[in-house]
Amino acid sequence: MLSDRRPILLANARIVDPSRDLDTVGDVLIADGVIREAKRGIGAAGVPEGTEVIDCRGRLVAPGLVDMRAFVGEPGEASRETFGSASQAAAAGGVTTIVCQPDTSPAIDDPATVDYVLRRARDTAIVHVHPMAAITKGLEGKEMTEIGLLKAAGAVAFTDADKSVTNAQVMRRALTYGRDFDALIVHHTEDPDLVGDGVMNEGEFASRLGLLGVPSAAETVMLERDMRLVALTGGRYHAASITCAESLEVLQRAKDAGLDITASASINHVTLNENDIGPYRTFLKVVPPLRAEPDRKALVAAVAAGLVDVVMSDHNPQDVETKRLPFAEAAPGAIGLETMLIAGLRLVHSGELGIIPLLRAMSTRPAQLLGLPGGTLRSGSPADLIVVDLDVPWIVDPNELKSKCKNTPYDEARMQGRVLRTIVGGRTVYEIV
């Protein structure tokens, strides 16, 4: 339930603020929708009258997550997800800002649709929602959208969702216009001709299952092309979903060359690999496909080093009719808003990744890249933050998840850690009592 906006003191907390590389014990005072202080020793005596004092008992307090890639069905596909249901799932997962994708019906490719999304989300969502707009009209890869008008209407970046712009001239123009309007171009790097009819990672495991594979070259070939175009135009570029070690080498060379490029990896690709598909589990059919374990480890190391800037949910709800099919025929996609952080904590508990690099990739960096407030606990910043118990064990029950669709790759998985409270704009929008 949405609470009132009276002041809140989160006392006796472990404060982790990746924007300052801060990990300390202290208190966080929230008033008038902003963070007043986050430091040691505020104490209940020094807070405004009527403040709600919450004893965190050493639990983690961190900035709310900014999910840079999530599909929400409105407009046109509300049966899969609505802003209301997506925001409920987001709040339960510690996500205080959703960045929704433009592959709706109609596509988010004109200012009127951007305005509709913003108004609809404002009326029905309990977390912040910002749309990315399409790079090309109708996501067809042929004619560029009006980047300046769409940005003025409220689009925070530009992408053709899970479609690649194969026409290099169109992508060059998009990067050029993006440069002129200081707009971020977010591109899905998969050459559709190399993908062909592939449905999982190309290799021995795919052969054993009798499934057609997708080579990692499908990703790296497109990424290499894009790096050349970024060098040509000077545009701002973000690789939407990096999955393999070869792509990391391409990114490193581009960053070393001083190009303005950044990249995301999905929570699925940093916590799962192709072997998790097991006996044709369609809930693990995603695009790009899950790769081999060495690729997963390389991605985690890249997140730790900052080479991969962002970890996102790639939330893509699919109903039972499109998932309960033979693997090759099932629709790709997995829900992830509610489990992104908790799945990421697996990496923390295993020692593969520190809590600060994880939270930086899920909150601070996406907020910075998109020019959004949040991702920090600095004084004066928006009071979008979460309280997390890092140790509580639980088992993922799809029937208890708040998304309209239940296609989670973590079905019945054992997890350690859970979001206890989510605060957006100074109001508690989710709480486990």
| C-alpha separations of 403 from 85, 289, 333 in Å | 6, 22, 13
> Could you count the other beta carbons within 10 Å of the beta carbon of residue 18?
24
Catalytic residue among 103, 295, 309, 314: 314
Task: Give residue 93's Cα distance to chain centre.
Answer: 12
Q: Please, is 414 exposed, middle or buried when counting C-beta atoms within 10 Å of its C-beta (0-12, 13-18, 19+)?
A: exposed
Residues with Cβ < 8 Å from 415, sequence gap 6 or more? 339, 342, 343, 345, 346, 393, 394, 395, 396
Active-site residue flag, 319: no
Closest to 162 (Cα-Cα) out of 209, 107, 207, 210 = 107
> Could you count the other beta carbons within 10 Å of the beta carbon of residue 393?
9
Angle at 362 between CA 42 and CA 99, to 5 degrees: 110
Residues with Cβ < 8 Å from 84, sequence gap 6 or more? 124, 125, 126
Beta strands 8-17; 52-55: pairing state? parallel
In the structure, how many helices (H) and strands (E) does the chain have? Answer: 14, 18
Please report where in the chains the tokens 């799962």 appear, as a residue. 272
**CA dihedral sign of residues 181, 233, 298, 208:** positive
What's phi and psi for 11, nearest 5 deg? -95, 155
* Calpha distance 38→21 (Å, rounded): 13
Q: Which residues pair with 93 in a beta bridge?
A: none
Q: Please, is 108 exposed, middle or buried when counting C-beta atoms within 10 Å of its C-beta (0-12, 13-18, 19+)?
A: buried
* Calpha distance 419→339 (Å, rounded): 10
* Calpha distance 255→103 (Å, rounded): 29
* Calpha distance 65→68 (Å, rounded): 9
Active site residues: 314
